[in-house]
């Protein structure tokens, strides 16, 4: 994966060159590029592509996922959909600022960190969505950000399958084996829960939402990840499936 940064006075975009090349022929990016060329700009990426209003005006939002700030499913082309996720704060601090973060340099923004981590795991062949781009808009000492990844066709959250009684023993063990692969790669997923594990139509598990995650040497964090998942399963009244997940994890 080839990452490149595009910098202007008050915004920065980090993107995968190959994903952008593939998507540049899509109808909305082609149209956007034509508009930019008429304005003397040569690059198809621009901050407005990271706002749901741009896609909604063109009737290219095809769905929305639940969660803080919501993720929007975009029709990037006739054959591919993207997921646009704006960064939003949670907890008490959100009452002060829901979407602004302290600026400490571009490489320390949550968006740049997540995209680079996502790309590193993707390059290792691990089941994470392909990253497309992220955008950081700076406002003096603060910034806002959003991330775009490729949507996994037909995938459903593990939480949804559990609620519908459609997660069998074999699937749960595959989930455990997937988590073990990520732990072996050193990924500390700080929000490992049943919504951040997606299951593709043929039963392959994927891991999403790498915000605030990082690569670390082996340690207690692995146990903490599992405990976080256990709390999530309990929340969805599915804590009884944890032994099956652990069986796959320990194989």
- CA dist., res. 23 & res. 12, Å (int): 19
Q: Which two tokens stand for residue 231?
A: 């709390």
Whole-angstrom Cα distance, residue 42 to residue 39? 9
Which pair of structure tokens corresponds to residue 134?
């992220």
Please answer whether residues 18 and 29 qualify as being in contact, where contact means their C-beta atoms are separated by less than 8 angstroms: no
Q: Give the active site residue among 18, 191, 209, 211.
A: 191
CA distance 229 to 247: 14
Q: What's the residue count for the chain?
A: 251
What distance in Å separates the CA atoms of residue 206 and residue 196, rounded to the nearest whole number? 8
Exposed (0-12), middle (13-18) or buried (19+): which is 82, by Cβ within 10 Å?
buried
Region of 82 please: left (phi>0), alpha (psi -120 to 50) or beta: beta
Helix/strand/coil percent split, the chain, to 5: 40, 25, 35
- What is the per-residue DSSP string for 161-206? HHHTT---HHHHHHHHHHHHHHHHTTEE-TT--TTSEEE-TTS-EE
Known catalytic membership, residue 22: no
Residues labelled as active-site residues: 191
């Amino acid at each position: 994966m080839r990452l490149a940064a595009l910098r202007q006075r008050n915004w920065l975009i980090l993107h995968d060159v190959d994903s952008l090349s593939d998507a540049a022929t899509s109808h909305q990016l082609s149209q956007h590029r034509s508009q930019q060329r008429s304005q003397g700009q040569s690059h198809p990426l621009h901050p407005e592509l990271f706002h749901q209003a741009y896609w909604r005006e063109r009737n290219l939002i095809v769905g929305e996922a639940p969660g803080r700030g919501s993720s929007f499913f975009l029709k990037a082309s006739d054959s591919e959909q993207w997921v646009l996720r704006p960064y939003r704060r949670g907890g008490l601090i959100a009452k002060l600022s829901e979407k602004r973060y302290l600026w400490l340099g571009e490489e320390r923004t949550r968006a740049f960190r997540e995209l680079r981590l996502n790309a590193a795991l993707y390059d290792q062949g691990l089941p994470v969505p392909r990253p497309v781009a992220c955008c950081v808009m700076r406002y003096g000492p603060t910034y806002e950000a959003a991330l775009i990844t490729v949507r996994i066709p037909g995938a459903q959250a593990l939480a949804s399958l559990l609620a519908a009684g459609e997660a069998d023993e074999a699937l749960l063990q595959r989930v455990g084996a997937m988590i073990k692969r990520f732990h072996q790669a050193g990924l500390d997923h700080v929000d490992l829960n049943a919504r951040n594990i997606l299951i593709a139509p043929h039963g392959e598990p994927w891991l999403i939402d790498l915000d605030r995650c990082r690569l670390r040497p082996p340690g207690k964090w692995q146990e903490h990840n599992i405990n976080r998942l256990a709390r999530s399963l309990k929340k969805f009244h599915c804590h009884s499936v944890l032994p099956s997940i652990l069986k796959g994890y320990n194989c």
